[in-house]
Structure 1
Amino acid sequence: MNKTTALYCRISREDEANDFSSSIKTQKEFLRHYANRNSYTELRNYVDDGYSGTNFDRPGFQKLIEDIEKGIVSTIITKDLSRLGRNYLSTGYYIEHYFPSKNVRFIAINDNVDTSQKINDFTPFKNIINEWYARDIGQKIRSAYRTKAENGKFTGAVAPYGYTKDPIDKNHLIIDSEQASIIQLIFKMYSKRSTIYGISQQLKEDQVLTPRADTYKKTSKYKLDNAQKYPYSWSPQTILSILCNEVYIGNIVCNKHQTKSFKDKTLCSIPEKDWIITKNVHEAIIDAKLFYQVQEYLQSKPKRRVIRHKHLFKSKIRCSDCGGMMIYAVDKRRVNSSAYVCSTYRVHGTERCTSHFMRYRDAVESVRTIFVKLHKQINLDKENVIDKLYSYIVPQKKDFGSSEVLKDDCETRLATISSLLKTLYEDFALKRIDQETFNELLNQFRQEKNDITEKLNVHTETTLYMETMKQNIINMVEEIGLQKSINKLTYRMAEHLIEKVTIASRGNGIYNKDRVDLYLKNIGIIDLAAIGE
């Protein structure tokens, strides 16, 4: 099978603002022209639009790595080294170690880098310069934002609920009268001792759009499925954040969070003493006296002590009805009263799910029973269990024979097209056909090659998936089979074998013990009926 030539394009928002010649469209045209001029075939674009080069956790690049691991990429072409990355250690690793180890050729056109030849001694220094550039840009942007914050300028992407950005000055906030009335209502209700839950229910009853739903309605940006499904469902956390936000008394609070570095975009909380607070920079919605009264009342409320309980299915158990995470709850008034309850119902009530629970001991026993039955079948006939698991987890198996025939036919046709293309070029060079006929046939052959290559890529991905899944099933069966008995479900088994557990309700307030589904890591749901239990 002919391997793919990867045309990799990347641009960050900063690059796009400073250099039009680096736009994704321009890069694609530049790379395709170079590839065609140098007779590269099986071209495929990998694009990261709006991603920094300081880290390699980018969807386009990760897809490229996946295809390299599958063995379907032979060459990578970029406009220059900085498109690959601006972290000189990581960029150097890929160029000097990873790509050569996978027999992948890397070409950076403008920097004259080609790993099929001797690496240019200046290449590492170019990578360092690219990283310096990224560091410098990051420092300048951070400095610019800090200067704006110290001058009382709003720097957020979206104005806080109750305000909108001034059309004349996007760093200045002006009141949105419709939203401001909702802010005033929230403060008024809470000052009169309404609960946060009570406020959320009142807003829902009045059919007031949530901040996210309202933003999407006005701008068609920041789409969120739940905001569309439940546009009036105000969460307690949203109301609490409004009650605590100084923006409503005319202040701007900045520098509450910061990324770790220009390479690591993880947000870290900044100590309150280092916040940048600029007072009275825009019109207030809430009177300062009322705001601080609300803060005093919030602080006076007793803080609930959070107790971290240890349980087998932490972050692994979900409600089948709504997909929400199950919360481990303990009733101190009763012995052995721990249970899993639906978090969606706890937060949003019957609008999104129903009131139901499952005793912790019942959940553990239901999952243990599945393991016991699976363990029994493995001991009776391990190979049979592997085959049956594979046959229902990987349904493509039954069609794989015809798929192999398709692969052979595709590769034969590709060889034929290559021969036809050579003849076509010869006929054109010897003036046996005119320019129009040549272009028409050339485009037809190229389109057919691309279509066939895509089919072969799907075949390769399917083959890899099937082989990987088979090995995962074998590994899982071997590990379960090594257990002498499963009298007790251990934390090690839960951690190493279980991906998640889902349970469905009977509709009468409790969960159905007969509808507990076990998903094993790297495999999926276990259907005992499919393996003969």
Structure 2
Amino acid sequence: MQKYVIALYIRLSIEDYKYDSLSIENQSLVLHEYAASMPEALNAEITEFIDNGYSGTNFERPQVQKLIELVRANQIDCIIVKDFSRFGRNSIETGYFIERVFPLFHTRFISISDDFDSSKFKGDTGGMDVAFKYLISEYYSRDMSIKTKSAKYAKMQRGEYQSKICPYGYRKSADGRMEPDPEAAAVVQLIFQLAAEGINATAITRELFRRSIPTPGQYKAAHGNHTHDISRCHGIWSASTILRILEVERYTGVYMIGKRAVLEVGGTRSRLKDRESWYIIPDHHPAIVEKAVFDTVQASQLRFSQPNKKKRDYPLKGKAFCGCCGHALSRTMQKTSYYYCRHSEADVESRCHKMHLNAAELEQAVFLTLKKQLEAAAPLAPDGTLRVDASVPERAEYEQQIETLQDGKRTLYERYLMGEIDLNTYKAEKAACDELLLKTKNAYAAVLAQAKQKQDEQARQDSRKEASKVIFDADTLTTELAELLIDRVLVYPDKRIEIAYKIQDIFD
């Protein structure tokens, strides 16, 4: 017998830390006490979903996404939250899930503080009272966002605001302000000195590698900050890192903040504002680089844009990687093009140093490998695929049965309230109805699983047919073919290649 599953959803944003009543522990206690009082909780499975530190203005939260996926898989019978704002502060999205998604999958939704239980409503979800609570939650979130931004901008204007992250070369002092990090600051000064002498970024990376100076990621990792993946750098700086450092005006003691504006409340997308709108504070912190040296470097750096630059496309764009160091291979765009490993240019001892492979030969080798793999696979049906009947006629029938049984339960309860039947009769008939409803739901879940299996098999066959057609119609490797089948190609100095496929089972 499938258990009744109750999901307790808890959300705590950064602002909510100010209120003890909204703590994770208090929310959990309230939800568990309520769930324990429900008759369905006797043999139910109770699971918690917690999003800690996430705003309710959008649904890009890991645990709420997981919860919604389980709902769509018909694995959640009831969701309980402390109030509507815990589930979401966006009135449109919150209303969509409560009014459309959850009823479709017969998932009950309960908001304790709002005295809302979707099982008490049929055809609506609480009327204007609930709708106003949605809007109040969304307005509160927007109002808090505006007030927080206003306070932050005021601190920026006074030069009091400090970002959490310092640029390479600085660290946080005891009072939270920026101060030079002697070891890293010396590296920054060296980079600016070399650039001021006219040495380009690529040559600077070679010099830093020759001196065995760790990259910024390695330096942070050595000091306990492991937020960067340094597994592939091998002590080699990238030219792009050098160029980014040479552009940082904060090294001259000038503090610039407020460069970007968030596009929507609770969102992560932002846009770069005009420089006139930035907050620029001179002599904000000790300088690492003299202003004259910084200006000299800016004047010597070649920075230009090509608005009408033609986009360079080739079949293995973003898919060819060095098998030695794992970095993406660069490709020259000449009459005779070739792939090479740019990362290892500074390390003459590296296996992939000076590795150059003819682009046409590599792409043709990949194409012939694909073709041979498909020829070696099991033959397809005469029409190029195996058709699978993915229709499940019983699905609509079970949905109708479940709706009828739920209507029957409501009618039974109404008869009891009207005094047409006594309590014992009501309990007996309700138990029989619940048992039949549970069996019907289990059978419905099995039908859905069967339909999903058929759909997956059909998708596999369709992918195989599409891949076969593209390969046999092509004379050489194309971007379409590479996008369809290839995840990545590892290339080694001895011209050996390893292909990781997107849909491996078509070759099984």
TM range (shorter): 0.7 to 0.9
Partner of 1:429: none
CA apart distance, 1:26: 2.6
CA apart distance, 1:61: 1.3
Task: Name the CA shift for 1:175/1:313 in 2 (closer, same or farther; >3 Å).
Answer: closer
Letter in 2 for 1:164: R
Using the alignment, how far apart are the partners of 2:467 and 2:75 within structure 1? 35
Task: Name the CA shift for 1:466/1:504 in 2 (closer, same or farther; >3 Å).
Answer: farther
Q: Deviations over 1:3-26 (max 9, x none)?
A: 43211111221222x323222233
Partner of 1:224: 228
Partner of 1:81: 84
Task: Name the CA shift for 1:110/1:195 in 2 (closer, same or farther; >3 Å).
Answer: same
CA apart distance, 1:359: 3.6
Contact in 1 for aligned 2:238/2:343 (Cα 8 Å): no
Using the alignment, how far apart are the partners of 1:27 and 1:364 within structure 2? 58
CA apart distance, 1:311: 2.0
User: Which of 60, 64, 69 pairs up with 2:63?
Assistant: 60
In structure 2, the residue corresponding to 1:26 is in which secondary structure? helix
1:95 aligns with 2:98: yes
CA apart distance, 1:467: 6.1
CA apart distance, 1:33: 2.4
In structure 1, the residue corresponding to 2:77 is in which secondary structure? strand
1:20 aligns with 2:14: no
In structure 2, the residue corresponding to 1:248 is in which secondary structure? helix
**What is the aligned-residue identity percentage?**
27
1:296 aligns with 2:299: yes
Task: Name the CA shift for 1:20/1:353 in 2 (closer, same or farther; >3 Å).
Answer: farther
Task: Name the CA shift for 1:258/1:349 in 2 (closer, same or farther; >3 Å).
Answer: farther
Partner of 1:179: 184
Partner of 2:416: none
Contact in 2 for aligned 1:163/1:180 (Cα 8 Å): yes
Task: Name the CA shift for 1:208/1:153 in 2 (closer, same or farther; >3 Å).
Answer: farther
| Paired residues for 1:267-416 under 5 Å | 267-298=270-301, 301=302, 303=304, 307-331=310-334, 335=335, 337-342=336-341, 344-345=343-344, 355-370=354-369, 372-373=371-372, 380-382=379-381
Q: Deviations over 1:410-431 (max 9, x none)?
A: xxxxxxxxxxxxxxxxxxxxxx
CA apart distance, 1:186: 2.2
In structure 1, the residue corresponding to 2:473 is in which secondary structure? coil
Partner of 1:126: 133
In structure 1, the residue corresponding to 2:276 is in which secondary structure? helix
Q: Deviations over 1:120-141 (max 9, x none)?
A: 2211211111111111122222
Task: Name the CA shift for 1:108/1:245 in 2 (closer, same or farther; >3 Å).
Answer: same
In structure 2, the residue corresponding to 1:116 is in which secondary structure? helix
Task: Name the CA shift for 1:526/1:357 in 2 (closer, same or farther; >3 Å).
Answer: farther
Contact in 2 for aligned 1:81/1:111 (Cα 8 Å): yes
Using the alignment, how far apart are the partners of 2:20 and 2:340 within structure 1? 54
Using the alignment, how far apart are the partners of 2:363 and 2:132 within structure 1? 58
In structure 1, the residue corresponding to 2:163 is in which secondary structure? coil
Task: Name the CA shift for 1:323/1:289 in 2 (closer, same or farther; >3 Å).
Answer: closer
1:517 aligns with 2:499: yes
Q: Deviations over 1:200-252 (max 9, x none)?
A: 3333344434333333443x3452231x6647443323332222222122110
CA apart distance, 1:60: 0.9
CA apart distance, 1:160: 2.1
Contact in 2 for aligned 1:163/1:174 (Cα 8 Å): yes
CA apart distance, 1:346: 6.2
CA apart distance, 1:115: 1.4
User: Which of 131, 136, 143 pairs up with 1:136?
Assistant: 143
1:166 aligns with 2:169: no
Which segments of 5 or more consecutive residues in structure 1 lack a partner in the other structure? 388-458
In structure 2, the residue corresponding to 1:158 is in which secondary structure? coil
Letter in 2 for 1:7: L
Letter in 2 for 1:161: Y
Which segments of 5 or more consecutive residues in structure 2 lack a partner in the other structure? 387-445
Using the alignment, how far apart are the partners of 1:268 and 1:65 within structure 2? 30
Using the alignment, how far apart are the partners of 1:504 and 1:14 within structure 2? 50
In structure 2, the residue corresponding to 1:155 is in which secondary structure? coil
| Paired residues for 1:359-508 under 5 Å | 359-370=358-369, 372-373=371-372, 380-382=379-381, 469-480=456-467, 485-488=472-475, 493-494=480-481, 497-505=484-492, 507-508=493-494
Partner of 1:29: 29
In structure 1, the residue corresponding to 2:119 is in which secondary structure? coil
Contact in 1 for aligned 2:215/2:235 (Cα 8 Å): yes
Task: Name the CA shift for 1:347/1:135 in 2 (closer, same or farther; >3 Å).
Answer: farther
Q: Deviations over 1:172-193 (max 9, x none)?
A: 3223333332322222222223
Q: Deviations over 1:55-85 (max 9, x none)?
A: 1111111111222222211111111111111
Letter in 1 for 2:473: I
Using the alignment, how far apart are the partners of 1:383 and 1:116 within structure 2? 53
CA apart distance, 1:52: 1.3
1:204 aligns with 2:191: no
Using the alignment, how far apart are the partners of 1:518 and 1:210 within structure 2? 30
Contact in 2 for aligned 1:503/1:516 (Cα 8 Å): yes
Partner of 1:449: none
Letter in 2 for 1:120: G
Task: Name the CA shift for 1:326/1:30 in 2 (closer, same or farther; >3 Å).
Answer: farther
In structure 2, the residue corresponding to 1:45 is in which secondary structure? strand
Letter in 1 for 2:86: R
In structure 1, the residue corresponding to 2:312 is in which secondary structure? coil
Using the alignment, how far apart are the partners of 1:139 and 1:348 within structure 2? 51
Aligned residues: 439
Q: Deviations over 1:445-472 (max 9, x none)?
A: xxxxxxxxxxxxxx99999997665333
1:72 aligns with 2:75: yes
Could you state the TM-score of these two structures normalised by the residue count of structure 1?
A: 0.72
Contact in 2 for aligned 1:250/1:280 (Cα 8 Å): yes
Using the alignment, how far apart are the partners of 1:92 and 1:185 within structure 2? 57
Letter in 1 for 2:157: E
CA apart distance, 1:516: 4.5
